[in-house]
Structure 1
Amino acid sequence: MIGSTFWFFSLSVLAVTCLLINSAGSQKIQSVACEGSEAQLKCGKDEVISVSRATYGRLDRNTCSSGRPNRQLKNIKCSRSSEKVAESMTEPECISQKDSALACEGRVAKLRCGKGEVISVSGATYGRRDQKTCSIRRPEGQLKNTQCSMSSDKVAKSCNGRRWCNFKASNSVFGDPCVGTYKYLEVEYTCEVPERRLQNTTAVVCEGKVAKLRCGKGEGIYVSRATYGRRDQKTCSTGRPEGQLKNTQCSSSSDKVAKRCNGRRACKLKATNSVFGDPCVGTYKYLEVDYLCYATVTG
């Protein structure tokens, strides 16, 4: 009866620890999904997933707790291991899809990736390699030299690690590899999920103060959770009357921090009712943000 009671009333959590394995070695990474949600395990180009551990249940009160009643969180000694995640990864496919961008001379090349992805440029050439590309309304004399192109790392330096990037195809940017020839810019790139660190950082700021999220050089912020309200009587309690601290069942999740800060190296956001609304009038609140610093793609 104890087992059946737990699975019926408790809000469960799936926690997966796996290795991203490539020729250079392996890196441990953890994925957590709340009950009813999907755990997403992703790896980069030339990497495969190897699941070392997967548990389903609850080991603490904080994980996947937003908006849940206390009775669904109090049993923290309920979890079981499972091999089902590992079994589903026996033939992983983690291959980055190649994209390309083309811009005729004087135009702008537009590189775009989806949400949570960043650009990794594999090659960029400026010049002319055939007579058809960017040939409309151009005299034959500007198209006949097809042995004129040069590679450049300028696009990679400007665009790598960003979700989107615009780059102008012009002689002033790349130089002129063939004077008198009408040229074009060709860019090959992939959209990759940036590698994240295992370390989760928590920033806490009292109502009326400013939360400061910071990552190191070459890193970007990824907010995994942000709540505004009060979940205990100790945090941000100095100099506050008891009446402003007693309501500890008052917090609301918000995606405003993620929308503002994700992908940036540093970010500031004020913890106020005007920004997040007031989940409990009369209670002195605080903003709590969990975030990761991931290494942005550099080449």
Structure 2
Amino acid sequence: MSPIFTQARTMDSDLVVLILIPSASLSAANRSKSGVISVQEGLYGRTDAEICKEGRPPQQLANTACSQAGAVDVLKSSCNGRNRCNIRASNGVFGDPCFGTYKYLKVLYTCEKSGMISVQEGLYGRTDPEICNEGRPPQQLANTECSQEGALDVLKSRCNGKKTCELNVDVFRTSDPCVGIFKYLETNFTCLPPNTFHVLACEDSLAHLSCDEWKVISVRKAIYGRLDQTTCIFERPPSQVQNDECKSKVTSVVANSCNGKNSCTIRVSNGAFGDPCGGTYKYLKVFYKCNCGVPERLLLLGLARVRSVALVLPRPPLPLEGVRGPPWALLLGCHVVSSGALARPTDKATV
């Protein structure tokens, strides 16, 4: 059965709802290719007896109060900030919230056309006596080792992938990490530009980076370790996911392997990146852009000035009037050039 798909147009983005049957793969994509995915809502379970019911006995459709906790976090972690995303709708990925019920995956996402928030650090509590201290008695500022567990996860869940984000600190007051202490919310985030892609891969798996044709990878940031207790936790004991302050900056390692290539695959392991925290199950998070440029193999070919090779190039995305380049260049700013002369979209480029 094909995925059920509906789409509605909004002011500055495409609002898309996808519903998939179990074991199907979510393939979310920004159809305009000018922005990135931002997951808004996600459900794995069953809340409607009519959806994905074909060929199923009544007992598999009866439970319509079935929803897996944390499904939207899995989707956001896998898809936010990417131009396209694939994720399998299965119990193996999301867990089984209602045994014996035939479930489906429902996702609501937008394709954002401008920069997006990426939360790096978050604190609700107090670690400094000078911050937010005006008019407060000393006893309310004394404890500087106060931190609410899970504050970073709340910030990421509510803000990552959005252009703007507003929070009421009441969402952190589910418990009090330090009674009698005047607390504050502190966050560190970056603003990722449009067309910045995000790849996340668990330890002992493969990370795949790729760009559209005639574009090359440019790695902006890469981290190996663990910064939360919700990513890459399937079938892992608590002891392996508790340390969420484990971080090794591996940007140069990933860049050396992938920069200048159209696609790149890296094994996520301690052997490749070292072990920043023994006994903790880690993951790799990479942010990269796809820049206009010459794929490495063609650049080398061009520099060798092999003049007997003719390449039929695809139609470039922009008009080519006035674009010139050196004899060895095949691409310049995503425009095709050949032997220093003008090249039109249907021309052959001869090196």
TM-score range, shorter chain: 0.3 to 0.5
Task: Tell which has more relative contact order, 1 or 2 (C-alpha 8 A, sep 6+).
Answer: 1
In proportion to residue count, which structure has more strand? Answer: 1
TM-score scaled by length of structure 1:
0.40
Bigger Cα Rg: 1
TM-score scaled by length of structure 2:
0.35
